[in-house]
Chains A and B, each alone.
Chain A
Amino acid sequence: MDLIAEVKLEIEDLRLRIAEVESVINSLRAVGADALFSSSGIVTFGGPEEPYRAFFLAMNEGGLTLDDNGRILYSNPRFALMTGLSIDAMRGKVFVNFLVITDRTRIAEFFLRRHADACESELINQDGTIIPIRISLTPMDIAGQKMSCLVITDLTIQKRFVAQQYKVAMLNEFQRYETLLNIAGDGIHVLNQFGEIVQVNDAFCHLVGYAMLDLLSMNLTQLDVKRSASEVQGTLNEIINHRKCITFETQYRCRNGIVINVEINATGVLIDNQQLIYCSGRDITRRKQMEAQLAHDVNVNSNLLALSKSLIATPVKIQNISQVTLDTSRILTESEHGFVSFIKPETEDNISYAFTKMLEPFSTHSGLIVFQKNSDAEYPNPWGYALNIGQGFYTNQPFSHPVMEGITVGEVPPHGFLSVPVFVDKTLVGQIALANPIRPYSDSDLNVVEQIAIIYALALQRYHIEQELITMRDVAQASASAKSEFLANMSHEIRTPMNGIIGLTQLALESVLSPKVRDYLEKVNCASHGLLRILNDILDYSKIESGLLVLEEREFNLDAMLNTLRHLFTVRAEEKGLAFGIEVAANVPRNLIGDGLRIQQVLTNLIGNAIKFTDHGSVVVTVLLNGMEESKARILFSVIDTGIGMTPKVVTNLFHPFTQADATITRRFGGTGLGLSISQNLLNLLDSHFIVESTPGEGSMFSFEILLNVSPNKVLESEFPIYDPPRKIKDNYAIFTEARVLLAEDNLINQQVASEFLSNLGISVTTALNGREVLALLEKDTFDAVLMDVHMPEMDGLEATRELRKNKNLATLPVIALTASVMADEREQAFTCGMNDFLEKPLDPEKLFATLKKYLQLQTIENNYSPHNFFHQDVINPLPNTIPGLNILPALKLVSGQTEIYQRLLQEFVLTHANDAQKITDAIAVHDFVQAQSLIHDLKGVAGSIGASELMQANIEIEKTLKNFPTQNHDVALQRITRSLNEVIQSIKIVLSENMLLKDNTYEYQK
């Protein structure tokens, strides 16, 4: 054969072979083989396996393939190592059975989920070791079957590392805990629920003095001595059950037996399922001691304070002071016995009013104890020991102490003794001694008692001072009363005769006198008024000096006061040829409140002086408003003259009493020289002072400023009381007709004067000499008012008033006191007894009139007829002012003062109406009432015109009764008319026949 043919055959052969092989492979494939095995090796046709196979075999992790029942189909060598079995041995085994029993179910479930995921578990090695692993699952589909590929990672090292870390951390934690525990200052002790100590820190060991090991085998009840075991358990339960954190105080006994006070904070806590109680405690023994000390000090202090307070409040009696001191001392030192005494300076006796039973044997029958110094000038033991040594001491063994030297035991033996002497400066003034305390005395007790002693000393001092003051006060009071009485007496003694002189002089001046006699009497009048002025000055001065002058706060009218001054001084100034004026600024308030009288007094003094010392020129008074302060006005009064003036030296001496500018002045100008001094004193009382300016030869100015309240009311001019006008009392006209007044006055002259005054006012007067007569008269008759002298013999005015007020019917009877007294309190007395008003003696007609006006019925004939006008005129009345039945003055006014006309009226009256009484009687007798009324009416009118008031009144009466009760008996009334008419006729005859016409029959009114 040729070569090509050979090759072709071989190729053909090969082709056949390949085809064969291919068909074999195909059929193999068909049955599911994927590899062909021959002696030369394995041919795989299933798919590429290397390098994955190498990787799988070599990798560090375990690798597995499981079927869908979890059986190991294939394992790599690493996993074989983990399990400790050969690969062959593992094939077919269920994987999860190589894990720890407790994980098998979990991992089996993990596989069932067929998620590509990882989990952790533990593998059991053949030798029993447990290897922590991570299983990484990858579900796969291999050749149509569900299989799982696992990667198993050995976590041993990792875990070990973590454990290590954890341990380190735990160790650190623990160390920190331990450190904290041990650096804590408080004693920390941890208990279990039974109170057993399970842990302590160093501080606690230190606190109770036990070693840590000892404590760990102890129960809390062994330490706590304050609470019983059940109490302790109770507290523990409370903490556990109520999860409370509580703080409380208790006491622990330390190893050395000493019991300490502790404060515990306790909290319950659950750790690892175990109930523990963490307690933190601290020693508060020191604190408790301080608290106790503080409480004690506070107690002592509050007791001392109470003692001080009660000593201030206590009536200052030595018994009270001693008792309170003793009580406090006993309480604070807890002593059963003791005493408190004081030293009597004169005798140095140690006297006690406050003592306990132990000392009773020493007391005298008067209930006090007196310890006297013995012959050695020492106070006897034991009580005097402290006084002798001069300082406080105490002993709890008195019998071993010098204090009990020479003493036999009494009924109550002392087992403790404390005594403190009480000093003021260096003088011994008393003692506090205590015995038998319920616990031993200590320094603290002595300290407390010494403090009490100080307070006691102060109280004693105060007591002594008070005694002195009481004595001084009594002396001063006696002196003041004596002065008061003297002034009152003086006033009364002097004023009474003065009253008589002035009164009688004035009365005399009212009667018809020859000009020479009138002249003499007028001078007497002036002189007596001057004397009265001086007397008042002296009395005022004495009053001011004894501090007995009381200023009034009354409403007064400035203009009225100044008018009075004008009236007082205009004439005097004119007589000397001086210009005189009073100028008030427009803005000065006129209605003021204050003591107008005193201001007027000062001004009177100043003006009087000004006129006295000025020979030519003027005296001017100015009143200015210097400002307002709320409702008060600052008013500046000035008296300016162009007189002789004063040198500065004179000015300085001016206000001294009893010195006038020089001796020659007294002779030239007269006067006691008291005036300015009194004025100055008055100004001081009025809170003011003089301002003086003067130039010798040119003149002087005296000023003062007063702060006065302005009155909101308008003060009536007529109410300004006039001090002392030297004038002739002019008139009286009967306007109190029908008034019956009881006059009680023991001095006959005064009685006469007053009587006259009253009768001149138309009053019918009944007199009494003393209180008893007054009462007797009041029983018999009725009166409209009583003028009662205060000072009368047998029964004085005050008593009489008190008595008569007891009678209900006389409750409202006006009783007016007549008093010569200057004392304000006599006035008060009068009012207290029931008097309604008072009048000063000597009687001032205007005041009398004003007062009577208040209580008696005033019959005004003319409304604008003011007595004020009358009292100020210099009237020369040619006719007598009164004549029985005739009140001439008012009648004169009706005829504008023309006496001739009046006299003609009188004549007419006599001619026409002389028989009227008879005519009226007759008319009534025949019941001709019309005629009677007509007659009565006529007579009434005429009677009024001529001033026959009584007659007129009688007619008015009968006119009334006739109208109302015509048929009744009118005898009484008719008799009255008859009597009255006769009286009038008689009087007219006298008036007409005497023909009293003086030179000047003009009649001036002052406007």
Chain B
Amino acid sequence: MNTQLNDWYLRLYIAGQTPRSLVAISNLYRIVDEYLKDHCEIEIIDLLENPGSGEYDRIMAIPTLVRLSPKPYCKIIGDLSNMKKTLLALELLHN
């Protein structure tokens, strides 16, 4: 499996301190620590704080993780608890 040494940019949309939001953050960090240490920039956007911020990325459900870099652009809804699925979706894992 090859991980390209491009800088990653991940954006996580949460809604306050809901349980799922917290879990999502936690899982995100876990993933980043394990696979993308030092190569990833994480942005966490709280839609309760900044309601308008979700428009750009057309967020419908929360939490949602958006990968802005590297391409392709992808969105993952949920608290990222299903680690395998998430990694596949992010192409950090190949079957």
Contacts and interface: CB of A to CB of B under 8 A. Distances in A.
Interface stretch (B1-9, B57-65, B66-74): B57-65
Contacts of A34: 15, 18-21, 62-63, 79
A92 interface: yes
Given A37-B60, A145-B23, A92 B29 contact: yes
B36 to A, nearest CB: 12
A859 to B, nearest CB: 162
Contacts of A145: 23, 26
Contacts of B48: 42, 53
Contact of A49 (B18, B60, B81): B18
A33 B61 contact: yes
A483 B25 CA distance: 155
Nearest to B12: A91
A36 B61 contact: yes
Contacts of B61: 28, 33, 35-37
Given A147-B22, A147-B26, A33 B16 contact: no
Select the residue from A32, A39, A56, A73 with max chain B CB neighbours within 10 A.
Answer: A32
A934 B32 CA distance: 180
Interface in B16-69: 16-26, 29-30, 42-44, 47-48, 51, 54-55, 59-64
A37 B17 contact: no
A1 interface: no
Interface string A33-51: 1111111011010110100
Best-buried of A34, A71, A145 by chain B (most CB within 10 Å): A34
A143 B43 CA distance: 22
Given A37-B59, A73-B25, A32 B47 contact: no
B90 interface: no
A71 B47 CA distance: 21
A47 B25 contact: no
Interface string A305-329: 0000000000000000000000000
A65 interface: yes
A88 interface: yes
A31 interface: yes
A690 interface: no
B20 A67 contact: no
A45 to B, nearest CB: 10
Nearest to A76: B17
Nearest to A46: B18
Interface string A138-159: 0000111101000000000000
Nearest to B23: A143
Most buried by B among A42, A49, A56, A67: A42
Contacts of B25: 67, 73-74, 91-92
Contacts of B24: 32
A142 B51 contact: no
A47 B23 CA distance: 14
A88 B14 CA distance: 12
Interface in A162-193: none
A38 B61 CA distance: 8
Contacts of B29: 67, 69, 71, 92
A69 B26 CA distance: 9
A69 B30 CA distance: 9
Nearest to A63: B17
Contacts, number: 116
Contacts of B26: 67-68, 71, 73, 145, 147
B77 interface: yes
Contact of B64 (A33, A39, A91): A33
A227 to B, nearest CB: 75
B54 A37 contact: yes
A24 B30 CA distance: 28
A53 B42 contact: no
A73 B15 CA distance: 13
Contacts of A42: 15, 47-48, 51, 62
B15 A74 contact: no
Given A65-B22, A73-B25, A37 B42 contact: no
A33 B44 contact: no
A670 to B, nearest CB: 168
B19 A31 contact: no
Contact of B79 (A56, A92, A143): A143
A42 B53 CA distance: 12
B18 A47 contact: yes
A225 B90 CA distance: 93
Contacts of A71: 26, 29
A88 B30 CA distance: 17
Given A42-B47, A42-B62, A49-B17, A142 B22 contact: yes
Contacts of B55: 39
A143 B17 contact: no
Contacts of B13: 37
B81 A32 contact: yes
Contacts of A44: 15, 18, 62
Interface in A80-127: 88, 91-92
Given A33-B79, A36-B61, A36-B62, A73 B22 contact: yes
Contacts of A47: 18-19
Contact of A143 (B22, B30, B60, B77): B22
B89 to A, nearest CB: 11
A144 B54 CA distance: 27
B82 to A, nearest CB: 8
Given A33-B62, A38-B60, A143 B51 contact: no
Given A28-B61, A42-B62, A92-B42, A33 B19 contact: no
A35 B18 contact: yes
A49 B20 CA distance: 12
A33 B17 contact: no
B51 A53 contact: no
B17 A32 contact: no
Contact of A56 (B17, B19, B20, B77): B17
Contact of A91 (B20, B44, B51, B81): B44
Contacts of B59: 37
A765 to B, nearest CB: 167
B62 A37 contact: yes
A36 B77 contact: no
Nearest to A28: B61
Given A35-B21, A37-B54, 4 more contacts: A33-B77, A34-B18, A36-B62, A74-B22
16 contacts: A28-B61, A32-B24, A32-B81, A34-B21, A35-B47, A35-B61, A35-B62, A35-B63, A37-B60, A37-B61, A49-B17, A49-B18, A67-B29, A92-B29, A92-B44, A143-B81
- A-B pairs, top 8 by smallest CB distance, nearest first, are A31-B78, A32-B78, A32-B79, A35-B62, A34-B20, A33-B61, A67-B26, A35-B15
Interface of A: 28, 31-39, 41-42, 44, 46-47, 49, 53, 56, 65, 67-69, 71, 73-74, 88, 91-92, 142-145, 147
